[in-house]
Structure 1
Amino acid sequence: MGDLYLVRHGATAWSTNGRHTSVTDLPLLPEGEADAVSLAPRLAGHEFALVLTSPRQRAVRTATLAGFPDAEVCEDLAEWRYGSLEGLTTPEIRASMPDWTIWAGPVPGGESAEQVTERLDRVLARVAAVEGDVLAFSHGHSLRALTARWLGLPVAEGRLFRLDTATLSVLAHERSAPVVARWNS
């Protein structure tokens, strides 16, 4: 098994103001597109055995602008489904649910941590079956949760990994132990 390269999509109108965006399919902002283009030289020349993207246009467009227009759409890389919390900011949610976080829930009408674990574990099984490095374009909470699962932790421990838009991270192994080799770069 190779390394797993993670790219969070470029900025959207909702990501810049902290709105929870899962199924709402927003385009990248002009600055999000520029940031996605800036990823291309950092990824150029690297051989990936598999390139995956979330089905949302913000991830697909980031993949395209970063030089991977043929990235395979992978439904399991979609963002955590926020249900009735879609489009709300954390302060708006906490007005009715003090101390709320996506990591602890609840997520009315959305995905549970167990459901997110199941689909991200499918991604990791796919990555493990590939000889060589894999590149994945996805979203903030999903990539943070995926990182927790890579490390053998519950998805809730994704709370420990801040992840900005249009950043590159690398998950690897050191002496066969899963590690974070680069984060939020």
Structure 2
Amino acid sequence: MELDQTVTSRIFLIRHGATEWSTRGLHTSVTDVPLSAEGEKQVRETKEKFVGPGKLIDPVDVRKVYCSPYQRARKTCEILNFSCDGSYPVVEEHELPKNVGTTSQQTKQVRPIVYTDRLKEWDYGEYEGKTIEEVHELRRQRNQENGGPTWNIWLDGCEGGESPQQVSDRIDSLIREIIRDIDIRDPIPGGKTLPKAKNFVCIAHGHILASLALRWARQPLRNGMRLLMETAGIAVLGFEHDNIDEPAIILSRSPHA
């Protein structure tokens, strides 16, 4: 079956709510901190305004939810409650081959929430738990910065952590999976097909979601800029002219769209 080039799918990026570390400006990747009380409140407000029947993200239209395995993202996903109608089994990605395989009949009938390592935050390595000022001071001590702060995560990566190429590789894997799934039709009795629920949700962290947006737009991370996402904020990816060959970052949404 040929891929229909005309699509209306959207990919919603949602950053988890605030944590004690994020409030203090500490780089947080592998440290599995929980949401703060304020962070949970932020997510509840996001759900009230943007998630639900007839809202920006209508669970009925969501094909699949991808979520970072860290508890701050899991709790965000839980509060947003995409499984409220019972149609979303929750699975760990390593369980997919035996439980929700990408080509199984089961996958064609359910809409899973998948906890995936591909949406873990950029591994900050030796910068974990440090403020941006502390990172610059560490680099100055090691003669990696001369004449003022020059650290650029998109070019330099993180000492003892991930490089831009490593992050790009794992994000590209997720993007390929979403694109493959985005316009496949579900079989129904009689040999006909029906469109799947068309949208996807990715719940994760600031730097990894910015990386996802850049790679979605087919930009190398070395061209990166700081795409800021507020805690519990939402960004939208899609396609220019609704053409699957023209991936785009959607900067605004008309109330009439």
Q: What's the TM-score bracket when you normalise by the shorter of the two chains?
A: over 0.9
Task: Report the alpha carbon displacement of residue 150 of structure 1 after superposing the two structures with TM.
Answer: 0.5
Q: Percent identity?
A: 36
Whole-Å separation in 2 of the counterparts to 1:48 and 1:15: 29
Instruction: Name the counterpart of 1:60.
Output: 74
The answer to whether the Cα contact below 8 Å between 2:16 and 2:231 also exists between their aligned partners in 1 is yes
* SS of equivalent to 2:215: helix
Question: For 1:110-134, what per-residue CA distance to the aligned partner results, in whole angstroms no more than 9, with x for missing partners?
Answer: 0110000000001101111223210
Q: Within 5 A, what are the aligned runs for 1:77-156?
A: 77-97=119-139, 98-131=149-182, 132-156=198-222
Task: Provide the aligned length of Structure 1 versus Structure 2.
Answer: 183
Instruction: Name the counterpart of 1:40.
Output: 47
Whole-Å separation in 2 of the counterparts to 1:6 and 1:155: 18
The answer to whether the Cα contact below 8 Å between 1:44 and 1:67 also exists between their aligned partners in 2 is no
- Unaligned residue ranges in structure 1 (runs of 5+): none
Structure 2: which amino acid aligns with 1:138? Answer: A
TM-score, normalization: structure 2?
A: 0.68
Question: After alignment, is 43-52 or 6-15 more displaced?
Answer: 43-52
Task: Report the alpha carbon displacement of residue 157 of structure 1 after superposing the two structures with TM.
Answer: 3.7
* Pairing partner for 1:166 from 217, 232, 235: 232
Question: After alignment, is 53-62 or 158-167 more displaced?
Answer: 158-167
Q: Within 5 A, what are the aligned runs for 1:63-74?
A: 63-68=77-82, 70=90, 71-74=113-116
TM-score, normalization: structure 1?
A: 0.93
* Pairing partner for 1:4 from 11, 14, 24: 11
Higher radius of gyration, 1 or 2: 2
Whole-Å separation in 1 of the counterparts to 2:225 and 2:11: 19
Question: For 1:7-52, what per-residue CA distance to the aligned partner results, in whole angstroms no more than 9, with x for missing partners?
Answer: 0000001111211100000000101001111222312121200011
- Unaligned residue ranges in structure 2 (runs of 5+): 1-6, 84-89, 91-112, 140-148, 183-197, 253-257
Is residue 178 from structure 1 mapped to residue 247 from structure 2 by the alignment? yes
